[in-house]
Amino acid sequence: PDEIVVSELASRLKVNVTEVIKKLMMLGAMVGQNEVIDFDTASLVAEELGAKVEKEVIVTIEERLFEEEEDAEENLEERSPIVVVMGHVDHGKTSILDKIRNADVTSTEAGGITQHIGAYQVNVHGKNITFLDTPGHEAFTAMRSRGALATDIAILVVAADDGIMPQTVESINHAKAANVQIIVAINKMDKPTANPERVKQELTEYGLVPEEWGGDIVCCPVSALTGEGIDQMLDMVLLTADMLELKANPNRLAKGTVIESRLDKGRGPIATLLVQNGTLKSGDVLIAGTAVGRVRVMTNDKGLKVDEAGPCVPVEVAGLAEVPTAGDEFAAVANERLARELVEKRKHEQKEEQFKQYQKVTLDNLFDQM
């Protein structure tokens, strides 16, 4: 193309049209958003905004940084499932997660001390399962609203003596909306008042029909107190994972989701990252939301220092210049300079957005007073 409409250029560059008009003014061209400019001018503007022109095509800064190549089938390897535990308060989510974590012998074999970093991996019969143990609901909602849901399977915990409660229904809706496979853990089976049949009956009212009644929902009777049924439940998680044929390519730059983050007095910003594709390595340049930096120190869920984290491995990372937001996507990138440019651009956009909100609020206030 030898010319382009100003607004089209802005949308190609994923920037506000006023940004483009401002740059054009700096170049001495007074044009409106519906006017056309020639390609040479467009490329000057693009370069001002961190983009690049290749073979008469404008490549945005995001496209230059994150090459969204599909992984070729031969590069894909089996990966472990990522599991979240959901359900009504006091039905036993924390107890189940603790039971699973403490039953994992590899954590003590490795000589480490288990530490809570928001996610952990357990080994069951030689296969790994990754559990997210961030406060279920918030993490789930935050991730889903950012469209970066890092979950394959949801274990829905329902207390056998209490049945389906409001947050159980919420959990079902979240899991369904996110298209996540549900496995039901009917917990507190040790209680004399446990009534698993009633739980199953109630589940059908929400479209979850147990396998034994001809549906496709696996129900596992468990007790987090005695440990009864937990192993069988983990086997069902692995079986479900097999059917989902989960795969990832370990031989590429890492990307994934920020699970937790905090500011440590001594070590600076700390983020728990869950790698979903690729392998994260010490020294990698990392971008997460508006935070950028190099991976300085990586620690796994057993508190051990590691130099690499492959698909589904959660790690705590020090080295970012800022604290990222839980639920943000992260990616390792090859070009540090471009990463810093992109972060500047994102911060700028954030500020503009805040300013717009501010203007809106003051205008509203003005009208209120009239």
Known binding residues for GTP are 87-94, 133-137, 187-190
163: number of Cβ within 10 Å? 19
In the structure encoding, which two tokens stand for residue 238, read together? Answer: 């692995």
Angle at 263 between CA 343 and CA 147, to 5 degrees: 50
Interaction of residue 114 with ligand GDP, rule CB under 6 A: no
Site for ligand GDP in 263-302 (CB under 6 A): none
Q: Does 170 bind ligand GDP (CB under 6 A)?
A: no
Neighbours of 46 (CB within 10 A): 24
Q: What are phi and psi of 109, to 5 degrees?
A: -60, -40
Q: Which stretch binds Mg ion (CB under 5 A): 10-18, 44-52, 88-96, 294-302?
A: 88-96
Q: Does 95 bind Mg ion (CB under 5 A)?
A: no
φ and ψ at residue 297, rounded to 5 degrees: -130, 135
Contact between 167 and ligand GDP per CB under 6 A:
no
Cβ-Cβ contacts under 8 Å for 25 (sequence gap 6 or more)? none
Q: Which of 7, 33, 75, 94 binds ligand GDP (CB under 6 A)?
A: 94
93: contact with ligand GDP by CB under 6 A: yes
- Tokens in use for 255? 């990307």
Segments in the chain forming alpha helices (H)? 6-13, 17-26, 39-48, 61-65, 93-103, 106-109, 136-145, 166-177, 196-204, 230-244, 336-369
Rounded to a whole number of angstroms, the minimum distance from the CB of residue 89 to Mg ion is 7
Contacting ligand GDP within 295-334 (CB under 6 A): none
Is beta strand 280-281 parallel, antiparallel or unpaired with respect to 305-306?
A: unpaired
Q: Are 6 and 21 in contact (CB under 8 A)?
A: yes
* CB of 329 vs Mg ion, minimal distance in Å: 26
Structure tokens at 343: 């972060």
**Contact residue for Mg ion among 7, 94, 167, 201 (CB under 5 A):** 94
Out of 13, 122, 185, 224, the only residue in the binding site for ligand GDP (CB under 6 A) is: 224
For 7-48, the DSSP string reads HHHHHHHTS-HHHHHHHHHHTT----TTSEEEHHHHHHHHHH
Q: Does 92 bind ligand GDP (CB under 6 A)?
A: yes
278 Cβ contact list (under 8 Å, min separation 6): 248, 249, 250, 251, 252, 253, 254, 255, 310, 311, 332
Return all residues near 285 (Cβ < 8 A) that are at least 6 apart: 292, 293, 294, 332, 333, 334, 335, 336, 339
Number of amino acids touching Mg ion (CB under 5 A)? 2
The residues in 173-192 that bind ligand GDP, with binding defined as CB under 6 A, are 187-188, 190-191
Give the range of 120-128, 218-226, 232-240, 300-308 binding ligand GDP by CB under 6 A. Answer: 218-226
Q: Which of ligand GDP, Mg ion, none does residue 91 bind (CB under 5 to 8 Å by kind)?
A: ligand GDP
As measured in angstroms, the least distance from the Cβ of 174 to ligand GDP is 15
Which residues pair with residue 264 across a beta bridge? Answer: 268
Kindly state the smallest distance separating residue 111's Cβ from ligand GDP, in Å. Answer: 28
Nearest-approach distance from CB 86 to ligand GDP, in angstroms: 9
Q: How far is the CB of 165 from ligand GDP (least distance, A)?
A: 11
Give how many residues touch ligand GDP by CB under 6 A: 15
223 touches ligand GDP by CB under 6 A? yes
- Should residue 325 be labelled a site residue for Mg ion when binding is judged by CB under 5 A? no
221 interacts with, out of ligand GDP, Mg ion, none, CB within 5 to 8 A per kind: none
Give residues with Cβ within 8 angstroms of 18, minimum separation 6.
Answer: none
Q: Judged by CB under 6 A, does residue 165 bind ligand GDP?
A: no
Per DSSP, the three-state class of 248 is: strand
Piece in contact with ligand GDP (CB under 6 A), picked from 57-65, 111-119, 144-152, 221-229 = 221-229
140 contacts 86 by C-beta, under 8 angstroms: yes
Question: Binding site membership: which residues?
Answer: 87-94, 133-137, 187-190
Nearest-approach distance from CB 161 to ligand GDP, in angstroms: 8
**For binding to ligand GDP (CB under 6 A), which residues are involved?**
87, 89-95, 187-188, 190-191, 223-225
**For binding to Mg ion (CB under 5 A), which residues are involved?**
93-94
